[in-house]
Amino acid sequence: MDAIREHRPTFTIGAITVFISLSGIEGVGKEDFASLRLIYSGGAAIAPAVNEQFEAKTGRYIHNAYGLTETNSPSHFVPVNVHAPVDPASGALSIGVPVFNTVVRVLGEVPVGEIGEIATSGPQVVPGYWNKPEATAASLPGGELRTGDVGCMDALGWFYLVDRKKDMINAAGYKVWPREVEDVLYGHPAVREAAVVGVPDDYRGETVKAFVSLKPGSSATPGELIAYCKDQMAAYKYPRSIDLMDELPKTTTGKILRRELREQQS
């Protein structure tokens, strides 16, 4: 924040956890972000509530960008000066539209709005994995990248990322996408960061557990947060338990590590 105030940058990009932290600093206001004409975020999903709270406090909107290591650069962007729509079915904020010369489709030839795995082809997609022909054949058949991300496309061509296919929680036969639960948690005024994983359960086979860090100066009990989710979600989706943490584990770029949280429960 000191660097922003001193150097007055006009553009920046970072993981959403960076912007959550910056906007949570005591005394930060719209003047601090006045020089920034454009902000993009990549590496992790943005909850609609987080973007709304950030814009209300800083006066700046965070534009989504999406890509994978295998695409070298983003395959989707939210266009400049445009607010991304929210999918009414999943509640996910759009990751944008495909960039120039890039073809993206939802596998399974599903109807518009239906969920499936996202596949990407274009000049930025890698030709394969080094010395791993089997992995290349599985993930890049015909040069098209199977992203492992599940999402949908609306009638106007906006794409929505629902979650990672491997992170889906199977609770008593019902599919629960962690991202949907996280987005609800981010709507609570005390929540700074949230991550949801599936954990073993004797009755349901797998059940929903959340890990939450609170905003400085805010307070909320696990019971209060569970009740908040229960009021807004189907009975099989809301978290059955919540652990409060000072900090959630992250990569060096600020992406929350669900994998590490899941491993702690096994």
pLDDT > 70: what percent of the chain? 100
CATH, residue 203: 3.30.300.30
Residue-wise pLDDT tens digits, 69-83: 999 999 999 999 999
Write down the pTM of the prediction.
0.86
Residue 148 sits in the same domain as residue 111: yes
| Residue 18 pLDDT level (bands cut at 50, 70, 90) | very high
Residue 124 sits in the same domain as residue 173: no
pLDDT at 242: 97
pLDDT at 218: 94
Q: What is the mean pLDDT of the chain?
A: 94
Domain that holds residue 127: 69-165
Per-residue pLDDT, averaged over 61-72, amounts to: 95
Domain count along the chain: 3
| Residue 109 pLDDT level (bands cut at 50, 70, 90) | confident
Q: How does DSSP classify residue 120?
A: E
Per-residue pLDDT, averaged over 8-25, amounts to: 93
Residue 256 sits in the same domain as residue 189: yes
Residue 252 sits in the same domain as residue 177: yes
Instruction: Give the Cα separation of 132 and 148 in Å (integer).
Output: 18
Residue 176 sits in the same domain as residue 149: no
Q: Above 80 in pLDDT, residue 266? A: no
Per-residue pLDDT, averaged over 5-28, amounts to: 93
Per-residue pLDDT, averaged over 227-243, amounts to: 95
Q: Above 70 in pLDDT, residue 228? A: yes
- CB neighbour list of residue 58: distance below 8 Å, 6 or more residues apart: 23, 28, 29, 30, 32, 33
Q: Above 80 in pLDDT, residue 263? A: yes
Please tell me whether residue 49 adopts helix, strand or coil conformation: helix
Residue 255 sits in the same domain as residue 182: yes
